[in-house]
Structure 1
């Protein structure tokens, strides 16, 4: 890709700006294909995939393919990846279900942009194993435990943000399954149950309401959309959004963060609030470094960037938000859920509650 094919947001970031950010991510990439948080830092499978997606969107397809090859080579036999690696060595052998599921989003994104059928066929077994691993930790009600610890013991506690992200991953995985001609009806049932629980059973999840991710992720992950999504974002807007700076990570800390702000941009875009999304995207550009990388956050009470890290995944979130706002690549609508499966509807009467998906489709 070159020139006009690279995302650009008028008045905020040019295509060359976005290319520079992508190059800053590629510069941190290890010879193995792994993309750490920053050069010499640790790798986790979710942020690695997020960075690979940004490389694809910005036209660095070879580097993105190297990242997905790393995911393919390092997947464990049970379909999972270690939670944390440093220079190829496992530092935390636990397996985070959200982290493992996210490969489906990355593979579907890469396929949408490149239309590479060989890539899809090569990565399909990876996605299938990952999703089967994740769904092995799904409770009867529908929520999914957030981790299997280093001893191999599943932890039943479920996280709203993580399960919302898994909801999106399942939708992408089902789209990929249909593309390769291997339908997965069990996944459709699991997606329907998870979506229902996300919409109707907040008691299923650990209380993390202090964190902005628990606020916007049900919208970003596609479980809550339409008027319900708009209402959700409006309800806590003043708790998390700081005019002219971006979104707080935590509601009681004077700390705005770039990745959360860009994910909120994607959430706003998904419910049609494009003007507000554009405004918020412009507001967070104070975190941009001259080399195109992005600082993780700013403690605005004292004007200090913290932590003192320019993280690959923050730059990646910027690129993905820029693509959504500019509708540049064929994957620009990925987080809007364009043409993604919605799963099999749950019989709401079974748990005694009503559940109508925000678009009008029973959930």
Structure 2
């Protein structure tokens, strides 16, 4: 693949949005994320705090949107070098130090997201050698995730830390599974590009999508959280009229006009990350005007260094917590990239060019007998 004919400067210009971000502001935000990256490639939330693999990938994707490909590749190299033997990563590492995990649980959505980032980086650069190097990492990560898929299609939240017994947690989270759905589709895109068919992944993706669309009872009830509201749309499981209906149903509950998106009901707290992700979901639905409006609202969270405060408690007129995270800025840049037409970003979030998996047959539960490793059964 030949990457788009544009250098870093033109990529920065594409991220600028009238009334939201100027080119100079984009440049400062990119520099803010880059300043948080360790020399080994790790990107913690902020220096002195922890790194989790999902937000690490999101920040790397944001760097790619701005043409910072070497930095993004270093982030993926960190993942490849520190992957656990079972294909996972730990849930948290102190300041991104791979030798200092602070949470040895192994979460499935954290592990799966590497597939989204790797495919996004390849689409940004056309670097086949990179894809060759990362393929074993992606494959091992997805296999870890699918070992926790339940007979109903949903995927268990995590595997406990070894010191706590290492048991698989069967409870499934709708937000996490929606993110995994996107990751599986990106994994399938990588496999197709490499001409290495993965029929088990195709079936697993279809079963997961079926569960998200039709079986809310298979997931823990986290409906108070805005991510459970919009993530089935952002992750590509709900599209068209079903996506529109879901977003409209929750709009008045979660969206605070002029401020952003609540993290959790009924708390008077809007957060930058959730607001940017909803904007990205709106773009996926073709509602760019509403997406831009939300991005405009959250500019109150912007700090002088180009990073963004995590959230705003509007009853108290207070920024809270007092932290500026790499992933909040990353989510903003990804939303801006989609709205600006960045090909790699529109491909991994738009979904039209990603494999959809195989729709399960009438006997959905019988899929566990079709060669997929289901935890507890084999």
More displaced stretch, 2-11 vs 182-191: 2-11
Which 4+ stretches in 1 moved above 6 angstroms? none
Compared with structure 1, are the counterparts of its residues 137 and 297 closer, same or farther at alpha carbon in structure 2 (3 Å cutoff)? same
Distance in 2 (CA, whole Å) between partners of 1:98 and 1:328 is 25
1:294 aligns with 2:305: no
Asked whether the equivalents of residues 8 and 68 of structure 2 are also in contact (C-alpha less than 8 Å), the reply is no
Matched-pair contact (CA < 8 Å) for 1:167–1:191: yes
How far residue 111 of structure 1 moved from its aligned partner, in angstroms, is 0.5
Give, in whole Å, the separation in 2 of the partners of 1:110 and 1:344: 26
Task: Give the corresponding residue for 1:39.
Answer: 47
Contact 1:98 1:163 in 2 (8 A): yes
Q: Which residue of 112, 120, 134 corresponds with 1:123?
A: 134
Residue correspondence of structure 1 range 214-253 to structure 2 within 5 A: 214-253=228-267
SS at match of 2:42: coil
2:9 is aligned to: 3
Task: Quote the Cα distance in structure 1 between the aligned partners of 2:263 and 2:66.
Answer: 26
User: Over residues 291-323 of structure 1, what are the superposed CA-to-partner deviations in whole Å (9 max), with x where a residue is unaligned?
Assistant: 110000000111111100000000000000000
* Within-5 A mapping of 1:112-191: 112-151=123-162, 152-191=166-205
Cα distance in 2 for partners of 1:33, 1:3 equals 23
Q: 2:321 aligns with which of 307, 315, 323?
A: 307
Instruction: Output the CA distance in 1 between the equivalents of 2:18 and 2:206.
Output: 38
Q: Is 1:147–1:154's contact at 8 Å kept on the other side of the alignment? A: yes
Contact 2:121 2:344 in 1 (8 A): no
8 Å CA contact 1:5–1:329 kept in 2: the answer is no
Shift of 1:41: 1.1
So what's the TM-score if we normalise by structure 2?
0.91
2:352 is aligned to 338
Note if contact 1:82-1:94 (Cα within 8 Å) is conserved in structure 2: yes
Q: What do residues 100-143 of structure 1 show as CA deviations (whole Å, max 9, x unaligned)?
A: 00000000000111111010110011000000000000001100
Contact 1:192 1:344 in 2 (8 A): yes
Match of 1:101 in 2: 112
3-state SS in 1 of match to 2:270? strand
Distance 1:333 1:180 in 2: 18
Cα distance in 2, alignment partners of residues 84 and 290 from structure 1: 28
Q: Determine the structure 2 residue equivalent to 1:201.
A: 215
Could you say what secondary structure the match of 2:169 adopts?
A: strand
Q: Compared with structure 1, are the counterparts of its residues 78 and 350 closer, same or farther at alpha carbon in structure 2 (3 Å cutoff)?
A: closer
Q: Is the 8 A contact 1:37 1:47 kept in 2?
A: yes
Query: How far is the alpha carbon of 1:280 from its aligned partner?
Result: 1.0
* 2:32 counterpart of 1:24: yes
Q: Give SS of 1:332's match.
A: helix
Deviation of the 1:347 alpha carbon: 1.4
Counterparts of 2:174 and 2:340 in 1: how far apart (Å)?
A: 29
Offset, 1:183:
1.2
Q: Residue 274 of structure 2 is aligned with which of 260, 265, 270?
A: 260
Counterpart in 2 of 1:359?
A: none
What are the ranges of 5 or more consecutive residues in structure 1 without an aligned counterpart? 352-363
Q: Deviations over 1:61-102 (max 9, x none)?
A: 111111111000000111000111114201111100000000
Aligned partner of 1:358 in structure 2 is: none
1:52 has 2:60 as partner: yes
Which shows bigger deviation, 219-228 or 275-284? Answer: 275-284
Counterpart contact for 1:3–1:15, Cα < 8 Å? no
- Equivalence for 1:355: none
Deviation at 1:350, TM superposition (A): 4.8
Q: Does the CA-based 8 Å contact 1:57-1:329 persist in structure 2?
A: no
Counterpart check, 1:75 vs 2:86 = no
Residue ranges of structure 2 left out of the alignment (5+ in a row):
1-6, 366-378
Q: Normalised by the size of structure 1, how large is the TM-score?
A: 0.95
Whole-angstrom CA distance in 2 between matches of 1:69 and 1:350: 38
